[in-house]
Structure 1
């Protein structure tokens, strides 16, 4: 395509074509689901955001995320985005769309495994500290220290005394981060009881998604009301003016992703950073250079 004809419309068309793979993936996985579940999905999806609106806004917001990334680097800013919510609430999908087109050296995701024996003996926040953003970084926590107020509390992994100590410490810990220049945003991704039931059933029936369903997830399903009570107290005791909680409704994944991205961008006073125009340099040719023939066994077999 000639440079003169390569306008914004052409770019958008190419980007939409690339991004449509997610929709195709959903269609391909559908035959693995039971007829009852397929019908439930069709009924549910009738009220969801249409694909054209979703993809156009997704690409627009991802373009803005690149501008935010450039601003973070240019200003040596530090952004911490905490993502919490019930199992299958869509945290991972939101995080993926936020970071999808960003530089992984600037925007990185932290999803820590369960603590080791050594970490269990440390100050509770200690294992999270090394992953906090330095200047010029955006860090997204896919679950965070709020595990103590949620899963650890409900499942009995933390004592009442440990939970209470967490509540006494966490707001001051976050205030320390804010005083050091970290922008802290905290999001809770919310879904209904019925929607979680549907998504769990999809994971059970789809062999490509069964890995997402753990014994803890199944136990948490039983304790839905206990999680609700824990969540409500967490909001009450850990939301404060400098770092409030924001709830993102997640029954419609497309709206959930767009709404969260719009909100992040609205909470940070960034601006576009001008860049010098890049000119591709001419390649240097050496007249006496001869390219060596490499042995066939170095190449990946051409299966396709």
Structure 2
């Protein structure tokens, strides 16, 4: 696919805000209807999953829409059925769960890096479609997005993270290892798609060399895939402030205030 120009900031921000407004409507519909929505974010390192999740949840109620990003399994969790620790994070009625990485770790990093056995990997590819069909049959709205980034753009993003003090934490030895195992990850992804790209829960690929386009395209697709309707908000009215009953504020000198650091940023 030919590389397209970066989406300009002005139309990006305008459309992003419109889509985020629709996400709020989607949230209210999920609450009202008691729906259960699961969104899986997968893809290569530095493909833009985290930034997209941030934009999806920016204006949503964290009590309704929550992000699940599990650490590596504990020794106890290693002895459980593989899907067990993910099941407890699935949504109840009226909830949205976004998996920042998911059970597909087994088909990707665990398989490529040798963190699971060949038998465990084979079993996962067999069980995963069954597991996801069970979710869908039970009424869960399951959406799966694969963020696709080119090797050149991935390397550029890694190098920028290396020199960025606020993003340096995003870069790990495991991330850098993915550069030398690019083809191994590609083969693992292709095999994963063969087994898990099922009609009940298909994979939707997001081209993410341009992060702005990726965010807009993914959110627009998610909204179009859910048959939500706008729920009229309850009628609210700001009440008049009651008259004073004689309250006197505590003297400022009796309280500890945060220093005005911001004052030093403005010249007189």
Q: TM-score range by the shorter chain?
A: over 0.9
Report the alpha carbon displacement of residue 293 of structure 1 after superposing the two structures with TM: 2.9
Q: Name the structure 2 match of 1:110.
A: 68
Greater RCO (CA < 8 Å, at least 6 residues apart): 2
Report the alpha carbon displacement of residue 204 of structure 1 after superposing the two structures with TM: 1.5
Q: Name the structure 1 match of 2:266.
A: none
Per-residue Cα deviation, 1:164-220 (whole angstroms, up to 9, x for no partner)? 111111111111111221100000000001111111111112222211110111111
* Residue 247 (str. 1) matches residue 198 (str. 2): no
Q: Name the structure 1 match of 2:26.
A: 68
Report the alpha carbon displacement of residue 295 of structure 1 after superposing the two structures with TM: 4.8
* Residue 215 (str. 1) matches residue 215 (str. 2): no
CA distance in 1, matches of 2:97, 2:136: 14
Report the alpha carbon displacement of residue 221 of structure 1 after superposing the two structures with TM: 1.2
CA distance in 2, matches of 1:237, 1:220: 23
CA distance in 2, matches of 1:211, 1:287: 52
CA distance in 2, matches of 1:289, 1:57: 47
Unmatched 5+ residue regions in structure 2? 263-268
In the alignment of these two chains, the number of paired residues is 260
CA distance in 1, matches of 2:156, 2:165: 16
Report the alpha carbon displacement of residue 301 of structure 1 after superposing the two structures with TM: 2.1
Q: Name the structure 2 match of 1:193.
A: 151
Report the alpha carbon displacement of residue 84 of structure 1 after superposing the two structures with TM: 0.2
Match of 2:154, SS? helix
CA distance in 1, matches of 2:254, 2:194: 65
Match of 1:280, SS? coil
CA distance in 1, matches of 2:254, 2:203: 57
Match of 2:201, SS? coil
Report the alpha carbon displacement of residue 52 of structure 1 after superposing the two structures with TM: 1.0
Residues 1-304 of structure 1 mapped to structure 2, 5 A cutoff = 47-293=5-251, 295-304=253-262
Per-residue Cα deviation, 1:212-236 (whole angstroms, up to 9, x for no partner)? 1101111111100000000001011
Match of 1:298, SS? coil
Per-residue Cα deviation, 1:104-123 (whole angstroms, up to 9, x for no partner)? 11111111111111111111
Q: Which moved more, 1:265-274 or 1:280-289?
A: 280-289
CA distance in 2, matches of 1:148, 1:110: 16
CA distance in 1, matches of 2:250, 2:227: 53
CA distance in 1, matches of 2:243, 2:81: 59
CA distance in 1, matches of 2:174, 2:79: 23
TM-score by length of 2: 0.93
Q: 1:297 to 1:303 in 2, by over 3 A?
A: farther
CA distance in 1, matches of 2:256, 2:86: 42
TM-score by length of 1: 0.83
